[in-house]
Amino acid sequence: MAFAAFANTAQAVDAAPRKSSKIALVLLAPGLAYLALFFLTPLVALILTSLQAPALYGDMGEYVYAFRWENYVAVVNEYGETFLRSFGYALIATMAALLISYPIAYFIGVRARKWPAIQAIALILVIAPFFISFLLRTLAWKQIFSDDSWTMETLKALSILGPDAHFTGTPFAVIFGLTYNFIPFMTLPIYTTLERLDTRYLEASGDLYARPSTTFFKVTLPLSMPGIVSGTLLTFIPASGDYINASGDFLGGPSTQMVGNAIQSNFLVILQYPAAAALSIMLMAVILVIVAIYVKRSGTEDLI
Amino acid sequence: MATGTFAESGADLELVGITKRFPGFTAIENLDLFIPAGSFFALLGPSGCGKTTTLRLVAGLEEPTEGKILIGGKDVTNMKSYQRPVNTVFQSYALFPHMTVLENVAFGLHRRGIKDAVAKAHEALILVELDHVANRKPQQLSGGQQQRVALARAVVNRPALLLLDEPLGALDLKLRRQMQLELKAIQTEVGLTFLHVTHDQEEAMTMADTVAVMNKGRIEQMGAPQELYELPRTAFVASFLGQSNLFTGQVVASTSDTISLDIAGNHIVVPKARAARHTGLVTVGVRPEKLTLHTETQTHDAGQNVLTGGVVKDVSFSGVSTQYIVSFPDVGDIVVFAQNMVFGPVVHEGAIVSVSWNIERGFGIEDHPEQAGKFVPDDNTASIAVAQRKALSAELEGA
């Protein structure tokens, strides 16, 4: 959707006749004002904060405006590994969510077309988790898999897990949590494209000697690319900045820190505002670059 | 099927006792059909008659409820569509939107691992005069161009059996003629078997060697186009394939070669060889262009059927010919096509005329007249004369 909005703007600029530009401006004004106030101002504030220097003889958490670009070097040195871990976890979670969501979306969007009731129920089931706060849901997972839970004890009793096995605090638990939390964000956009998939293309592919697996990779998958791109962006971007799943209070532990956790502790715990701001700016910049390359390379603009 | 090679020639298609039921209705009822290799076979019928379902069964896109499908003598009933040596030109074209025209055409060749797929795809595109758009996406082409790409995409595979689902519907007349010729040329050159589904009777008659007229899930009549036209066996065929004037009457006399009917006091004679039934209530017909219009009173001539005292109700000029609708008391309306040998119509509305035709031109159909009325609700395909006369007589009785 972020990406679809992108494509639409480009078209609108081309198509807009000169005359209506004033009306367009009037209509755009509230949105532009909103963006300026709530997006541009904080962004500028954040950039300025990220360059601040500690106040001389000041208290802890007291900073003055400066141009201390060394802040960035310091956070790269200190949190480089955390960055890599964040993107690694986000990437794995995105892939896992894609692998789980695609069959679900395919079932709802293509196979269940003949039974609208089943389609509706399945869609509700996908959206149902949103009715409960995701903090609560993540906490529930923590309880289910805590060391003394019956789940873990049963698994240990059955010797599926070793006697000293942990779930919470491991990278697996964090990735599991991320995947779980973002599955609806992956499923819904893929469902929207598959729901419009013309099955006559699949018939034509079969008619042209393509076996079902070939038909899937040559026809179905390319035609559902817009949904996959939207879904992966909607999953990857928030997942790489996520600080709930990886936090020690939920499914993570000290060894599973993600950038989000680092930003949170710098801002709220150790009061290093410039470091936290620099981390935020870098996270934003890196995501922007990754997304730009991804959208460009996936070549989905042809499909719209 | 064998990969890496083209079909050497067309294959026979045989349908044995095919029945296809969908929830709530039967699309095809116990259909038997044999199409010899290398023939151009047209399945003609109104929409909803089961012709497209038949095509989809052969392509493997639907499974028959009962019966067997054999291609080249091999039972393919349980084969998936990708395993059958068959290609389809879809009515909706179904060109892959994410591929270029060239990729679309080469798709089947790649799947079968045929060498020089791209070169062959270009050849096919040259054949349909679209090689200059090979690198465009299908949605950048016009409807007619897309249809030609769909043709190229199917023909390039040289399948043993090519299925055409109303493939020329979106083309303008000139292109349509051109594609008809090209299709015919491809078919004869390679000896492929073509199964062409259409509701356009003219297209079916000009292109096909054999035409089967289908109605309500059954084949009404099958044969060479000329045979079907000159000697329709049912009221449906008589009125779906061209126009017909149909009369129903009691057989009152019978010789060794002819039967004679009483139609509202007129005697209509039909050769026995051209009539399906020889006794009782019989429906006979004659094509409008076989009729001659007379302004002078016509004497009864041996070898001619004559109806007198008709009033011209409508005259419509169409260039080559003029269509007259002549109303005869108690018989009903009769359509006459007359070639425009002189300038314009020879008679005008309201004129009293008689019509005559050589008795050799009449035909008798096998439908029982009581059943002929079943076509009434379907306006396009209604047996015009029967329906109109029934309505008329009902009106007269009411008055």
Q: How many whole angstroms separate alpha carbon A231 and alpha carbon A190?
A: 7
B59 in contact with A, Cβ within 8 Å: yes
Q: Which two tokens stand for residue B397?
A: 């009785």
pLDDT recorded at residue B309 = 84
- Per-residue pLDDT tens over the stretch B152-162: 999 899 888 99
pLDDT recorded at residue A54 = 84
pLDDT recorded at residue B386 = 54
pLDDT recorded at residue A109 = 94
| Mean model confidence pLDDT for chain B | 84
Q: Which of residues 287-326 of B touch A (CB under 8 A)?
A: none
Residue A200 to residue B90, Cβ atoms within 8 A: yes
Q: Which ranges of chain A have pLDDT less than 50?
A: 1-16, 302-304
The predicted model gives B294-298 an average pLDDT of 75
A302 in contact with B, Cβ within 8 Å: yes
Q: Which two tokens stand for residue B94?
A: 């179904």
A196 in contact with B, Cβ within 8 Å: no
Residue of A nearest to B62 (CA): A203
Residues 6+ apart with CB under 8 A from B354: B293, B294, B297, B298, B306, B307, B308, B309, B310
Beta bridge partners of B75: B70
Q: Are the C-beta atoms of residues B44 and B220 closer than 8 Å to each other?
A: no
The predicted model gives B281-288 an average pLDDT of 89
**Tokens 């410039």 label which residue?**
A274
Distance from CA of B101 to the nearest CA of A (A): 14
Domains B13-226 and B231-398 share a fold: no
Fold of B231-398: OB fold (Dihydrolipoamide Acetyltransferase, E2P) (2.40.50)
pLDDT recorded at residue A68 = 83
Beta strands in A135-293 (DSSP E): none
pLDDT recorded at residue A125 = 94
Beta strands in B177-301 (DSSP E): 193-198, 210-215, 218-223, 245-254, 258-263, 266-271, 281-286, 292-294
pLDDT recorded at residue B88 = 93
Residue B157 to residue A219, Cβ atoms within 8 A: no
Residue A206 to residue B61, Cβ atoms within 8 A: yes
pLDDT recorded at residue B398 = 58
Site from A197, A198, A209, A300 to mutate, B interface, most B CB atoms within 10 angstroms: A209
Instruction: List, as one string, the DSSP characters of B116-154.
Output: THHHHHHHHHHHTT-GGGTTS-GGGS-HHHHHHHHHHHH
Residue B3: which pLDDT band, with cuts at 50, 70 and 90? Answer: low
Q: Are strands B245-254 and B281-286 parallel, antiparallel or unpaired?
A: antiparallel
Comparing B62 with B373, which gets the higher pLDDT?
A: B62
- Per-residue pLDDT tens over the stretch A102-147: 999 999 999 999 999 999 999 999 999 889 998 999 999 999 988 8
Of the candidates A200, A214, A303, the beta carbon closest to that of B111 is on: A214
Q: Are the C-beta atoms of residues A11 and A301 closer than 8 Å to each other?
A: no
A213 in contact with B, Cβ within 8 Å: no
pLDDT recorded at residue A300 = 58
Show the domains of chain A with their CATH numbers: 79-303 (1.10.3720.10)
With beta carbons under 8 A apart, name residues in chain B contacting A210: 82, 107, 111
A298 in contact with B, Cβ within 8 Å: no
The alpha carbon dihedral of B384, B385, B387, B391 has a sign of positive
B23 in contact with A, Cβ within 8 Å: no
Residue B112 to residue A209, Cβ atoms within 8 A: yes
The predicted model gives B136-142 an average pLDDT of 92
Residue B379 has pLDDT above 80, yes or no: no
Hey, which of A142-156, B66-80, B283-297 has the most confident mean pLDDT?
B66-80
Judged by average pLDDT, the poorest of A195-209, B106-120, B281-295 is B281-295
Q: Which two tokens stand for residue B145?
A: 């161009």
**A with B: how many residue pairs have Cβ under 8 Å apart?**
64
B347 in contact with A, Cβ within 8 Å: no
Q: Are strands B66-71 and B74-75 parallel, antiparallel or unpaired?
A: antiparallel
For chain B, the domains span: 13-226, 231-398
A222 in contact with B, Cβ within 8 Å: yes
- Per-residue pLDDT tens over the stretch A23-38: 888 999 999 999 999 9
- Per-residue pLDDT tens over the stretch B240-271: 888 888 888 888 888 888 888 888 888 888 99
Fold of B13-226: Rossmann fold (3.40.50)
Q: Are the C-beta atoms of residues B103 and B135 closer than 8 Å to each other?
A: no
Residue B175: which pLDDT band, with cuts at 50, 70 and 90? Answer: confident
User: Predicted ipTM?
Assistant: 0.78
